[in-house]
Amino acid sequence: MHNTIIIGSGPAGWTAAIYAARADLKPMVFEGYEPGGQLMTTTEVENFPGFEHGIQGPDLMSVMRKQAKRFETEIISAMVDSVKQIDGGFEVVSKGQTYQSKTVILSTGATARRLGLESEKALYGNGVSACATCDGFFFKGKNVIIVGGGDSAMEEATFLTRFAEKVFIVHRREEFRASKIMQERVKANSKIELILNSEVIEILGVDVGHVTGVKLRNTVSGETSEMNIDGVFASIGHEPNVALVKGLVDLDEKGYVKTIPGTSQTNIKGLFACGDVQDSRYRQAITAAGSGCMAALDVEKFLAGHE
Amino acid sequence: MAHIFTEANFQAEVLSSPVPVLVDFWAEWCGPCRVLGPIIEEIASEVDESKLKIGKVNVDQNAHLSTEHRVLSIPTMLIFKGGQEVGKIVGSMPKEELLAKLAPYLA
């Protein structure tokens, strides 16, 4: 039986692995469907302490992975299909193979929310993008829409102006949730135009195989209109990846895994959670890493108390 | 090793290839591309090249190719057969899943 299985490979998962490995627990990490997590689709990370001049998100994750590997972490590049409680621990199933572990650290993170439109799905990769930093490049001199009203929407809109001729921010409400500094940056940018009190109800172009426009609905008047556009990006928040433990652990009212305040302990003994899957509030690389450290120390203590 | 395709050799290496070709469009600054890259290399070293040829296009250096083949998101993998695009796979994914999608070409 393994000491601990870590599910997820963002900053929380790798930090947990580094600490658990250094405590000689020989952790096993399942990297999942999107190894490296959300930082893999960011560019410059300027607020992770220790990198004076910033570091690219994917580079940061690659270094963390190497660091975990250096201390005898077993890495499995696969998704976990299920987790259940067994006598003395947990049973984790991945690709038809079963693994048993005394503890589990859940660090499955959160995934960007989509608009949830059929046309969005149909045109994904053909003008609909889930990654502004990956795909902005292909919209040189074109017009794009970004849906959202938070800091990351403002950040991505600003990033997209490097390539696009015009960036329209479509937001459901009159006011943005974004911080003042980000809003001001956006308002001062002549390439950005705001379309407020509006939502995208359909993406046009399914018939021709690429995005040609969008159908908008005014959230106040209910009126609909169409506009021509070449690309659609969405930045409308995140959903915690809890599918794996639904029904097993308690979730909070926002749907995130509930942990005992000040610890990484869930309501199930031996099951710990860290990173964005249990944090709807801070959601930073550094807080995720910090909570990953907490989870590994909690596991160490838990195992010591059981021997 | 995966082949390196460029604007200069695309016609000869891809469009005129007697066997189907998988082309991975990628860039250095794209995180998911860097996850997919080693998977593409692994598959390239394992599959029979008389069935499927595998290579990569760096979109930074070959912007013309991504425009011509309507690549609007990376990573995107295009499959060419007899000079025609016959398949399109968008986004990074685990090796097994990609192999399953390529199965028709590897049979």
| Residue-range definition of the domain harbouring residue B62 | 3-100
Amino acid at A65: R
| Band of pLDDT at residue B29, cut at 50, 70 and 90 | confident
What is the phi-psi region of residue B96: left when phi exceeds 0, alpha when psi lies from -120 to 50, beta otherwise? alpha
Q: Which residues of A are catalytic?
A: 131, 134-135
Question: How far, rounded to the nearest angstrom, does the alpha carbon of residue A294 sit from its chain's CA centroid?
Answer: 20
Q: What is the pLDDT of residue B96?
A: 87
- Provide the 3-class DSSP secondary structure of residue A272: strand
Q: What is the pLDDT of residue A307?
A: 56
Tokens for B45, please give them.
């070293």
Question: CA A129, A132, A136 angle in degrees (round to 5)?
Answer: 95
B34 touches chain A (CB under 8 A): yes
Residue at B106 is within a domain = no
A35 and B93 within 8 Å at the Cβ level: the answer is no
Q: How far is B55 from chain A (nearest CA, A)?
A: 20
- Provide the 3-class DSSP secondary structure of residue B22: strand
Q: What is the pLDDT of residue A202?
A: 98
What span, in angstroms and rounded, lies between the C-alpha atoms of A171 and A180? Answer: 16
Residue at B30 is within a domain = yes
CATH, residue B72 = 3.40.30.10
Tokens for B84, please give them.
């025609």
Q: Whole-angstrom distance between the N-terminal and C-terminal Cα of chain A?
A: 13
B32 and A131 within 8 Å at the Cβ level: the answer is yes
Q: Which domains does chain A have, with CATH numbers?
A: 2-111+238-304 (3.50.50.60), 114-234 (3.50.50.60)
- Count of structural domains within chain B: 1
B103 touches chain A (CB under 8 A): no
Instruction: Name, in order, each residue with C-beta under 8 angstroms of A91's C-beta and a sequence gap of 6 or more.
Output: A83, A84, A85, A98, A99, A100
Q: What is the pLDDT of residue A105?
A: 98
Q: Nearest residue on chain A to B38, judged by CA atoms?
A: A77
ipTM: 0.88
Strand blocks (E) in B27-83: 53-58, 76-81
Residue of B44, B52, B38 lying closest to B94 (CA atoms):
B38
Q: What is the pLDDT of residue B104?
A: 92
What span, in angstroms and rounded, lies between the C-alpha atoms of B25 and B65? Answer: 9
A137 touches chain B (CB under 8 A): yes
Q: How far is A127 from chain B (nearest CA, A)?
A: 6
For residue A110, what is the enclosing H or E element? strand A110-112
Amino acid at B80: F
B93 and A78 within 8 Å at the Cβ level: the answer is no
Can you give the C-alpha Rg of chain B in angstroms? Answer: 12
Considering only the beta carbons, identify the residue of B34, B66, B95 that sits closest to A58.
B34
Q: What's phi and psi for A62, nearest 5 deg?
A: -65, -35
> pLDDT tens digits for A182-193?
999 999 999 999
What is the phi-psi region of residue A167: left when phi exceeds 0, alpha when psi lies from -120 to 50, beta otherwise? beta
Strand blocks (E) in B12-102: 21-26, 53-58, 76-81, 84-90
Q: What is the pLDDT of residue A46?
A: 85
A41 and B73 within 8 Å at the Cβ level: the answer is no
A133 touches chain B (CB under 8 A): yes
Residue at B72 is within a domain = yes
Q: Nearest residue on chain A to B76, judged by CA atoms?
A: A125
Residue at B107 is within a domain = no
Question: CA A279, A280, A283 angle in degrees (round to 5)?
Answer: 65
Q: What's phi and psi for A224, nearest 5 deg?
A: -110, 155
Q: What is the pLDDT of residue B26?
A: 97
What span, in angstroms and rounded, lies between the C-alpha atoms of A155 and A160? Answer: 9
Mapped to the 3 state alphabet, what secondary structure does A18-37 carry? HHHHHCCCCCEEECCCCCCH
Q: What's phi and psi for A7, nearest 5 deg?
A: -110, 110
Instruction: Collect all residues of chain B within an 8 Å Cβ-Cβ radius of residue A95.
Output: 96
Residue at B105 is within a domain = no
Q: What is the pLDDT of residue A133?
A: 87
A126 and B27 within 8 Å at the Cβ level: the answer is no
Mean pLDDT for the stretch of residues B56-73:
96
Between residues 185 and 204 of chain A, which touch chain B (CB distance below 8 Å)?
none
Mean pLDDT for the stretch of residues B58-84:
96
B76 and A125 within 8 Å at the Cβ level: the answer is yes
Counting every residue written for chain B, the total comes to 107
Residues of chain A with pLDDT under 50: none
Based on the number of CB atoms within 10 Å of its own CB, is A262 exposed (0-12), middle (13-18) or buried (19 or more)?
Answer: exposed
